[in-house]
A and B are shown apart, each in its own frame.
Chain A
Amino acid sequence: MQVDWFPLWLSLKVAAIATALSLALGIWVAYLLANRRFRGKEVLNAAVALPLVLPPTVLGYYLLILIGRPSPFGRLYEWITGSPLVFTWQAAVVAAMFHAIPLLVISARAALESVDKSYERAARNLGATEWRVFWKITLPLARRSILAAAILAFARTLGDFGITIMIAGNIPRRTQTVAVAIYDAVESGNGALARTLVLIISALAIVILALANRLAQRQAA
């Protein structure tokens, strides 16, 4: 059997980029939610968790409107890069981020808030700016939990189907991720390919979960 490895590599690439971007954005949002008081904080808090409860197709639909070619963002993107965002692998990254961000924000906020306040107070007392307190004290002390959350987020983004198919589509060798490829293989009666990809993804997921667990345990010790 000839297996096309492209979907697997694409999924790994998309998941890695989406996780990295979500990590940066997620930590920033988590910091705001954990430390700042501002208007609309509760709205932001709820909005962040929304992707966890909405059907992926609903999210995909919203995204199509938000980043589609006629939308302001879509036009801006096209003006800068010269090509549309939708139905590219970059759109798959955006789709994946919608799964990674809620997980990361919720875990990172909890991790940042669980750092013993006396360390932050001590740092301020020693003259450290808020910026320095965050980068040198709070974040390093919370890093294991955040890293564990990032690994889980990576695993979660690896498997997105609904949003991806809505905004990135199912274009073989261009936007076809593993989850979409499995669906495609089953639909077209290619049981051997579906089985292979399913087994690989499952094995990968188990390894990732074990890794995340080990990290979380070391944090507790």
Chain B
Amino acid sequence: MLELRIRKRFPARPDSAPFSLELEFRMAAGISVLFGPSGSGKTLILDCIAGFAAPDEGRIMLDDEILFDAASGVHLAPQKRHCGYVFQNYALFPHMTLRQNLAFAAERRPRLERHRKVNEMLERFHLTDAAGRRPHELSGGQKQRCSIARALIGSPKLLLLDEPARGLDAPLRSELYQLLRQVRAGFQIPVLLVTHDLDECFELGDEMLVLRDGRLVQSGPPRSVADKPASVEVARLLGIFNLLEADIVELNPQRNLSRLRLGDLEISGTYFPGRLKGDRVWLCVRPDQLTAGGRDGAPGPNQIPAQLLRVVEAPGAVRLEFSGGIRVEVTRPEFERQKHNKEWVVGFPPQALRIV
């Protein structure tokens, strides 16, 4: 269990704007994904936990040990924190063989046990054949496995990974995800992984922490974050939504009904608790939740006429970009059926509408 409540400020400098990190979270065993754009402070958080940076205020606890506490002046050295850290570039020691890299990390164990442990990890991470090679002679997958094995060999109480999938091709990426799922099952420790890839959050994350400008803007299982972004900010960060400005013109809790005005058209949705008539809100809906079809006379209820601007091919689906910034994702056969439409309407299913 990791518990963290920290604050750190960086004043403005000639070459950089002021930045402040201020957040609080706790995480248990399993994989928590720290998701945020570049510059949101993700790596800084890992550095604070690992002891390479000291927060100005707050406290960091790992299990029942205090790693950092500003009030009592505790700031454990990185050596004493028992946090495995997989660096972005792996940081495998270039002058040592793979076996020596692991042995270096197991130095604190007694000699006999160290030898056994190194062999065990080599076996477990399928590195036995490559044990005598140096990092520059290893494949990308081997380097990645070695860096994770090295971080785990000292039996850390927490594993930190800084964008481990950055720069990896698709097969290596899925190999990594596979490996991390095994680590989650085999080691039973909290794993904190930094990424700016939403797919990765879904692949691995038990919990997802959305970070922006040094602050936590939402947390929860990735599925629920993607279904219910807490704010328009989060929805933008996730980058998977249509965000359309709308006005609430009617709210009816009895009939579980609402009406929203988008431009000069109105659509209906379910009742939105905690909102008032007349509120200006963001309609937030995923491209795959919308429908697109040919316009046939006047638009039906919850249909908005739109002009098709661009068709973007994606593996497994087709994304249609309409006027007004609306994106709709349809299956390939559906698109084949529809592609001769001259005029289009976009359908907004009432159940799918969510506002932030």
Contacts and interface: CB of A to CB of B under 8 A. Distances in A.
A124 B77 contact: yes
Contact of B83 (A116, A119, A125, A136): A125
B93 A119 contact: yes
A172 B84 CA distance: 64
Given A122-B87, A136-B104, A128 B79 contact: yes
Nearest to B147: A122
B83 A126 contact: no
A121 B86 CA distance: 11
A129 interface: yes
B93 A124 contact: no
Contact of B79 (A118, A119, A127): A127
> What is the interface residue range for chain B against chain A?
20 to 34
B105 A141 contact: no
Contact of A127 (B87, B89, B95, B107): B107
B93 A125 contact: no
B91 A127 contact: no
Contact of B87 (A118, A129, A137): A118
A147 B214 CA distance: 45
A123 interface: yes
B114 interface: no
A140 interface: yes
Given A126-B150, A127-B79, A141 B52 contact: no
B85 interface: yes
B153 to A, nearest CB: 8
B85 A127 contact: no
A127 B95 CA distance: 19
Given A118-B87, A118-B89, A128-B79, A123 B95 contact: no
Interface residues of A, number: 17
Given A118-B87, A118-B89, A124 B78 contact: yes
Contacts of B94: 119, 141
A125 B107 contact: no
A140 B87 CA distance: 21
A137 B89 contact: no
Given A118-B87, A140-B95, A141-B94, A124 B79 contact: yes
Contacts of A127: 79-80, 105, 107-108, 154
A124 B95 CA distance: 17
Interface in B61-87: 77-81, 83-85, 87
A112 B261 CA distance: 65
Contacts of A118: 87, 89, 91
7 contacts: A116-B91, A118-B89, A119-B91, A121-B91, A122-B91, A125-B79, A126-B150
Nearest 10 interchain pairs by C-beta: A122-B91, A126-B105, A124-B78, A118-B91, A125-B85, A140-B95, A127-B79, A125-B78, A118-B87, A127-B108
